[in-house]
C-alpha cells in the first residue's frame, strides 16, 4: 500500500513538472526572454504572489472607459455622429465671403469714412436626385450600427468585470477556509508523528496523516492561485494599465 501511494505521488509530481515546463514555454513566447533567464527569475521566488488583503465588492462604472476596446468603440461612435452632422450640413445653403479684405473711402453725408469691402456669396445646393438625403440616411445607419457595437462592447466589459468580482470574492472566502483546514491537518500530522515515535501509531496511519496534510496544503495553494488569477482578470477587465492617451487602433 505504501509503495502504491509512493508511485501515485511520483506520478503526480511528473505531471505537475510537465505542466510547469509547458507554462514556462508559454511565458518565453509571451515575454521574449531566453528560457534560462526566465527560469532563473522564476526560481528566485517560490511563494504564490499574495494580492492586497482588501475586499472589492464594486468598482466605479467609469473605470470601464479605461479599456481599449471600449475607448475605440466610443471614438468610432463619435466619428459616426460627426459624419451625420457633415452630411446634414451639405443639404443647407452656405454663405462664403469671396474676394479680398481692403480699406477704401466712402462718402457719407459729404464726409469721407473708412469701410471694409466684403463680397458675400450665397451657395445653394442644386437638385441632386436625393443624393444628399441618401448620404444623411447612410450616415444615420452607420451611427446606429456603431451605437449597437458600442453597447455590446460595454456589456461585454461589464460582464467580464462582474465575473472577475464574483471569482475574486469566492476565492477570498475559500482561501480563509482552506488556510484553516491546512493548519488543522498540519497540526494533526505533527501530533501523529509524535504518537508514531512513541509507538502506539502505525506507519500506515502516519502516512495517511501526511497525505491529508499535503492535500490540504495543495488545496490552499490552488485557491491562492485562483485568487491571484481573479485579481488579474479584474485588472484586465478594467483596462489594465492602459490610459486614454495611448493610441487605439479602430476595429476593421
pLDDT of 98 higher than 70: no
DSSP state of 250: P
pLDDT digit string, tens, across residues 160-208: 888 888 888 888 889 889 999 999 999 999 999 999 888 888 888 888 8
How many residues does this entry show for the chain? 252
Spatial neighbors of 227 by CB under 8 A, at least 6 apart, are 51, 168, 171, 172, 175
The answer, as to whether pTM is greater than 0.75, is no
Query: How far is residue 139's CA from residue 145's CA, in Å, rounded to a whole number?
Result: 10
pLDDT of residue 178: 93
| Cα radius of gyration (the chain) | 35
Q: How far is it between the farthest Cα atoms of the chain?
A: 132
Q: Based on the fold, state whether residues 149 and 40 are members of the same structural domain.
A: no
Contacts for 110 with CB less than 8 Å, ≥ 6 apart:
none
Residues 80, 13 within the same domain: no
Q: Does 110 map to a domain?
A: no
Range of the domain at 10: 1-46
How many separate domains does the chain show? 2
Amino acid at each position: 500500500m505504501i509503495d502504491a501511494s509512493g508511485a501515485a505521488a511520483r506520478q503526480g509530481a511528473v505531471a505537475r513538472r510537465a505542466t510547469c515546463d509547458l507554462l514556462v514555454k508559454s511565458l518565453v513566447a509571451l515575454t521574449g526572454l531566453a528560457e534560462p533567464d526566465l527560469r532563473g527569475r522564476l526560481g528566485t521566488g517560490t511563494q504564490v504572489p499574495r494580492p492586497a488583503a482588501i475586499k472589492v465588492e464594486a468598482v466605479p462604472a467609469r473605470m470601464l472607459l479605461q479599456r481599449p476596446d471600449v475607448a475605440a468603440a466610443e471614438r468610432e461612435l463619435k466619428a459616426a455622429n460627426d459624419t451625420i452632422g457633415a452630411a446634414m450640413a451639405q443639404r443647407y445653403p452656405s454663405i462664403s465671403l469671396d474676394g479680398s479684405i481692403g480699406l477704401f473711402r466712402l462718402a457719407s453725408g459729404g464726409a469721407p469714412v473708412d469701410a471694409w469691402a466684403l463680397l458675400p456669396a450665397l451657395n445653394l445646393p442644386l437638385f441632386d436626385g436625393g443624393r444628399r438625403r441618401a448620404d444623411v440616411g447612410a450616415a444615420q445607419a452607420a451611427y446606429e450600427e456603431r451605437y449597437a457595437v458600442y453597447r455590446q462592447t460595454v456589456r461585454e466589459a461589464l460582464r467580464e468585470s462582474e465575473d472577475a468580482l464574483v471569482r475574486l470574492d469566492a476565492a477570498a472566502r475559500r482561501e480563509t477556509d482552506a488556510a484553516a483546514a491546512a493548519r488543522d491537518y498540519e497540526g494533526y500530522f505533527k501530533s501523529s508523528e509524535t504518537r508514531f515515535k512513541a509507538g502506539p501509531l502505525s506507519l500506515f496511519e502516519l502516512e495517511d496523516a501526511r497525505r491529508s496534510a499535503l492535500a490540504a496544503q495543495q488545496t490552499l495553494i490552488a485557491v491562492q492561485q485562483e485568487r491571484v488569477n481573479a485579481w488579474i482578470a479584474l485588472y484586465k477587465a478594467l483596462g489594465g494599465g492602459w490610459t486614454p492617451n495611448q493610441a487605439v487602433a479602430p476595429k476593421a
